Amino acid sequence: MDVCLYHADKCHFDIVTRDIEKAKIIPRNYVKRLAMCVCSCRKNKFKITDEVRQLDLQEMANYLGNCIKSEKWPVSLVTMLKPLLLDVRLQQYSQSMLVWILYNAIYCQTYSQLDSLIKKKKSDKVPKKPEQKMTAVQFNHMINKKWRNSLYKIEVIVPMFAGNTKVLQNDERFQNLQLKHKDVVVKIDNKANSEFMDKNLKKTKVKLGGKVKDGLHEMARHLIKIGEDIQNILDKKRSDIFQKKKMARLQRKNYQDSNIDEPDESLLYKEEMTDLYKRRCEANRIGNKTKTPGASLKDGHCMNCLDKFVTLKHPDVCKYHPGFIGMLRFAFQRAKS
């Protein structure tokens, strides 16, 4: 019968645990989990049979027996181990786990079984609070206030399409320029830029305000250079996309021209039905209520003589078998009467 070493005598097991720690067989932070690891009453136990064989367990027991003879171990531990080492089996979970743990601690200097049961402490790092950003109304109010307090104000025309102002504001060079000139206020003239966009002009009006005039002109020069570079990059990207679409369009056209001598049956049928629909619409438009003649049945033929039909509804009888349809009509009238 499998006996739990921990629950069979808790006081004695606590003494053994304390003596193991004093003898420095297992470190203190690991020996605290020895009872949990050895307990056979737990639901989620180690599957020792998957890791250790009976022959290996017997070798571990022999090694611990030699350690008891050669080393001075605590009396409580020796008292517990001596009867276990005489007849240890894998079916005895608690005893075999204790032997396995002590063997790994002494011979291999590993504590993997105990380490897996240690609850890791949560990090002591205090979570950072999210940065509180200004709303659009607050930002505009701050910009307008700085603009009113500016001593010098200039207007700059950047050679860039006005619809790319967001690209300019998100550009790293522009952001670094703003950090360098912190005292300069940058305002985008939306009214003037909307007029430039209506006229399709590559112009963007930007207002600069500050207390140092030289700083304004220096920032204006850098701003014009950045806007020009951004516009050139966007123009090149747009030109590359246009060229790719143009090449694809020409390739499709060449493919269609090469296959123009090979008409598709589905396309021919579509054209035929389109013409029929146009004729019917024209007849209804002029008030002609008579049915328009149907399109010819393609590859249609007489089931009797295999002669091809001229139209979809051919009014004539079979010219090769003139009495065939007449006999059918006579039989039908006779059956009706």
Q: Find residue 206's DSSP bridge partners.
A: 156, 188
Q: Are residues 14 and 104 in the same domain?
A: yes
Last residue of a domain, one of 84, 115, 146: 115
Global pTM value: 0.38
Domain annotation covers residue 222: yes
Residues 54 and 21 in one domain: yes
Do 143 and 93 belong to one domain? Answer: no
Residues 92 and 160 in one domain: no
132 found inside a domain: no
Sheet holding 185-188, edge to edge: 152-158, 204-210, 185-188
**Which SS3 state, helix, strand or coil, does residue 52 take?**
coil
Q: Residue range 194-208: average pLDDT? A: 91
99 and 188 part of one domain: no
- CATH code for the domain of 239: 3.30.1370
Domain that holds residue 207: 137-248
Last residue of a domain, one of 82, 115, 148: 115
Alpha carbon distance 147, 207 (integer Å): 9
Q: Is 175 a domain residue?
A: yes
- pLDDT tens column, 210-225: 888 888 999 999 999 9
Contact 337, 330 (CB under 8 A): no
Tell me the CB-side half-sphere exposure of residue 280, using CA atoms within 13 A. 10
> 68 and 167 share a domain?
no
**Comparing 100 with 120, which gets the higher pLDDT?**
100
pLDDT tens for residues 56-67?
A: 777 888 888 878
Question: Quick one: pLDDT at residue 289?
Answer: 56
In a domain, 129, yes or no: no
Rounded distance, CA 283 to CA 140, Å?
67
* Total number of domains constituting the chain: 3
Retrieve residue 109's tokens.
């200097």
248-286 pLDDT, tens digit each = 888 777 665 555 555 567 778 888 888 888 888 887 777
Q: Given a cut of 80, is residue 149 above it in pLDDT?
A: yes
Please tell me whether residues 105 and 146 are part of one structural domain.
no
Query: Among 90-94, 172-176, 245-249, whose mean pLDDT is lowest?
Result: 90-94
Same domain, 109 and 146: no
> What's residue 35's pLDDT?
79
Mean pLDDT (whole number) for 101-107: 81
Longest dimension (CA), the chain: 127
In the structure encoding, which two tokens stand for residue 187, read together? 């305002």
DSSP H helices, the chain, are 5-8, 10-22, 28-31, 34-38, 48-51, 54-70, 75-86, 93-103, 112-115, 136-148, 165-170, 172-180, 190-198, 213-258, 265-285, 322-336
My answer on whether 142 and 243 are in the same domain is yes
* Residue 278 maps to a domain: no
Same domain, 81 and 153: no
Looking at residue 104, its pLDDT comes to 81
- Please identify, among 60, 80, 115, the residue that sits at the C-terminal boundary of a domain: 115
The alpha carbon of 1 is separated from its chain's Cα centroid by a whole number of angstroms, namely 54
pLDDT band at 83 (very low <50, low <70, confident <90, very high): confident
Tokens of 50: 């998957």
